[in-house]
Structure 1
Amino acid sequence: MSVDATPDPYADQLAFGQRLKILRTRRGHTRDQLGGLVGRSGSWVRALEEGRLKVPRLDTVLRLAEALRVRDLGELTGDQSSPPVGLFAGPRHPRLGPVKAAIDTWSLADTEEAPPAEHLAARLAAAWSARHSAPDHRERIGALLPGLIQDARRAAVQAETPADRRATQAALSEVYSLAQFFIAYQGDVSLLWRVVERGMVAAQDSADPHTIGVAAWLAAQAHRDSGPGHFDAADTVTNDVLRYLTPMLPDAPDKILAITGALTFEAAYTAARRGETGTAWRHWDRARELADRLPADYFHPVTSFSRGIMGAHAVTVAVELHAGGESVRQAGLADADTIPSRPRRARHRIEEARAYHLDGQPDAALATLAKAHAAAPETIKYNGYAKRIVLEEAEAKSPSRRRRASALAVQLGILAA
């Protein structure tokens, strides 16, 4: 290796601190940023990197791995016997290959006629219904996506009038939105960003405010989940589209109110990740005001935004601010039964579990994760926060807690039976 080459953090001879420094640098974190994400100081991170502190306990290693988005713990520890679990990259779904092939294929000689717009719309509606109602939602939408992608592209290419072109671009953007839900947390970052960018381009070409809002909502999430170095990009997308939508609000239909509310909550979420307590709750309050303007039974089909979701959103804000007591208080106020979407309900249960874990209630956290698994196994299986809690408690001092955590780890496929 030349003297100018970047060291490989996976080489066996590197110490834990060296691996930590290389992975931190690659993720674009400063020491203060990484320390803040795990509740420590920048000087503590420096001491670890320089080898002045010994390798921390498993729970802390898991938090570092979570913040660095490493694929497996062994990449950080150098220990090949570490659990082969990708904390923020779940197992690749068997249907990822066909979905990727459909996204990557551009057939210029395709002469097959596109389906009627009504037929495509009905298939999209069925796919969203499966997304929200099926416990194996990734399996269901993964089976539908290749055909939807191909037919939505055909429709966009074959559109003859400006109005038809805008409508087909809106449908294509919606298909990419559905694809992003399927692809998320499967470790194929380049594929995820191709889908995000194509969804945004198609949304802009549609000139439809709701479609643009949905694409921006998903793009903001992709930026935020890429780490602190991308928080500004998440805010830029969110704020630009909020400025575009806000003048429409006085007489807006429900779906415009809902996507504006969902984007406003995204601003709260990013502020909470930054640790900006006042800003996060101010955005949450604004999102709640928008939710209160919606009918009591309204539920946005993509973002799940509704009156009932605001309690779950409050738990997320408190958890991201690392406020254990407030997180548990908000969890007690939220009603999971008001969330009709199974994967979104499971996600809320995971956030509740994080709240209990932050508050030093590991048994309650494990019980809540079991509820998440019952609601939607394919949601918790791909969630890094859930896996971190389970792995940490699988090494707890309490024998009964170890057994419960280990049994859940087996269900999630992160430990062998």
Structure 2
Amino acid sequence: MPDDATPDPYADPIAFGQRVQILRTRRGMTRDQLGGLMGHSGSWVKGIETGRLKMPRLQVVLRLAEVLRVRNLADLTGDQSVHVDLFVGPGHPRLPAVRAAVDAFPLPTRDEPAPAAAHLAARLAHAWAARHTSPHHRDVVGALLPGLIQDAQTAVRQADTAAERRTAQAALSEVYSLSQFFLAYQPDGALLWRVAERGMVAAQESEDPHTIGVAAWLTAQAHRDSGPGHFDAADQVTTEALRYLTPLLPDADHEVLAIAGALTHEAGYTAARRGETGTAWRHWDQARTMAHCLPETYFHPVTSFSRAIMGAHAVTIAVELHAGGESVRQAAASDATTIPSRPRRARHRIEEARGYQLDGQPDVALATLAQAHEAAPETIKYNGYAKRIVLEETEAKSPDRRRRASALAVKLGLLAV
């Protein structure tokens, strides 16, 4: 090749350590922070990044992928033959139709009358109920969303009075909230953020406290899941939303009480991600007190906040704090069968499995993931934590464990049949 030719960017592939450094920097993490989350020191991370230490075994690589929120394992390893999506799914078949509905730019028209507010509310209630009861909730919700998005937008455009417009904006924000559940772990992060931002704007226009709280709850989650560099933004959203809602609580209905409780737990969740044990459990305890102000059978249709969910939340806090023994204790104290939502019950099983894995009980972790798959296959299929555990155990020393992990990997679409 001539000396002045454009160099081949793939001739000298990026080393594993360099990839770790790039991904760590992108997440806004220091070496000490990453090392702490990995159970090592900052100097260990430096050794990996500089090449002084060789590429670790699969178990450690998968743990790095989890901590760095790597979406495709090949992005971390550099081996394009290892194409495994971890924190994002392969893309649901209904994603293109939902994307098209979100991206559409409908102009004001009176050609088609807007649906009545009561009709939209009934359809949304049906959609939430379907999400909680169907094992294939993404497929069901994905089929409903395009029509809901179009009709809710039409209702806003054709509202004749300020009151009608606020009601329509509340419905539109709720549709966007439902859309965020469908878009989570799908391969279109920009679309998820577009929906989150539109949902927050519509909520603010609605001037409805419950709607504003739900939009804030989802926005805080989006920030937190974007990595440590966004934790401050997540805290700011929850803090501002709670500051707005708190004066209303003495006279609030169950929905507003529940969303305030859900936001309080979110603050604890983010604190747990930071490793702030005392703050995390303090927020959880406050949220539990708020849950006990609700009727025993109450279950919030969006956040799942309820008395029944607090045990599941305790497991998540312990897992995020990387406390294996405490995770197992909280799992034993919780009762997944009291959670009426299939996807939320499956998510709880996945969190329990993470706890068992942390506690050195991989066989129980696999059995718990099998329960998650039974509750809602479409939840575990798109969950990166579940995928990491399954992939790690496909290389276990125990032949029986390898067999069970491989069978579950096939069900999740991680391995060819």
- TM superposition score category, shorter chain reference: over 0.9
Q: In the alignment, what sits opposite 1:385?
A: 385
> Which residue identity lines up with residue 244 of structure 2 in the other structure?
Y
Deviation at 1:34, TM superposition (A): 2.1
Distance 1:251 1:98, change over 3 A: same
Percent identical residues: 76
Q: In the alignment, what sits opposite 1:193?
A: 193
Q: In the alignment, what sits opposite 1:205?
A: 205
What CA distance in whole angstroms lies between the structure 2 residues aligned with 1:104 and 1:10? Answer: 35
Give the 3-state SS of the residue equivalent to 2:40 in structure 1.
coil
Distance 1:225 1:351, change over 3 A: same
Paired residues for 1:8-407 under 5 Å = 13-82=13-82, 84-108=83-107, 110=109, 111-407=111-407
Question: What whole-Å deviation, never above 9, does each CA across 1:259-311 have from its counterpart, x for those lacking one?
Answer: 00000000010000000000000000100000000001000000000001000
Quick check: 1:185–1:382 contact (8 Å CA) kept in 2? yes
Long gaps (5+) in structure 1: 1-6
What CA distance in whole angstroms lies between the structure 2 residues aligned with 1:107 and 1:303? Answer: 30
Quick check: 1:350–1:385 contact (8 Å CA) kept in 2? yes
What CA distance in whole angstroms lies between the structure 2 residues aligned with 1:123 and 1:404? Answer: 41
Distance 1:8 1:280, change over 3 A: farther
> Which residue identity lines up with residue 206 of structure 1 in the other structure?
S
What CA distance in whole angstroms lies between the structure 2 residues aligned with 1:319 and 1:195? Answer: 29
TM-score normalised by the chain length of structure 1: 0.96
TM-score normalised by the chain length of structure 2: 0.96
> Which residue identity lines up with residue 20 of structure 1 in the other structure?
V
What CA distance in whole angstroms lies between the structure 2 residues aligned with 1:142 and 1:362? Answer: 34
Distance 1:155 1:344, change over 3 A: same
Cα root mean square deviation, aligned = 1.5
Q: In the alignment, what sits opposite 2:3?
A: none
What CA distance in whole angstroms lies between the structure 2 residues aligned with 1:325 and 1:400? Answer: 25
Distance 1:11 1:395, change over 3 A: farther
Question: What whole-Å deviation, never above 9, does each CA across 1:374-398 have from its counterpart, x for those lacking one?
Answer: 0000000000000000000000000
Quick check: 1:31–1:43 contact (8 Å CA) kept in 2? yes
Quick check: 2:242–2:263 contact (8 Å CA) kept in 1? yes
What CA distance in whole angstroms lies between the structure 2 residues aligned with 1:105 and 1:278? Answer: 46
What CA distance in whole angstroms lies between the structure 2 residues aligned with 1:9 and 1:307? Answer: 55
What CA distance in whole angstroms lies between the structure 2 residues aligned with 1:264 and 1:108? Answer: 39
Q: In the alignment, what sits opposite 1:3?
A: none
Matched positions, count: 410
> Which residue identity lines up with residue 99 of structure 1 in the other structure?
V
What CA distance in whole angstroms lies between the structure 2 residues aligned with 1:11 and 1:175? Answer: 48
Question: What whole-Å deviation, never above 9, does each CA across 1:351-381 have from its counterpart, x for those lacking one?
Answer: 0000100000000000000000000000000
What CA distance in whole angstroms lies between the structure 1 residues aligned with 2:19 and 2:251? Answer: 55
Deviation at 1:21, TM superposition (A): 1.3
Quick check: 2:145–2:179 contact (8 Å CA) kept in 1? yes
Long gaps (5+) in structure 2: 1-6
Deviation at 1:107, TM superposition (A): 1.6
Question: What whole-Å deviation, never above 9, does each CA across 1:52-110 have from its counterpart, x for those lacking one?
Answer: 0010111111111122222321211112232x221101110010001001001112154
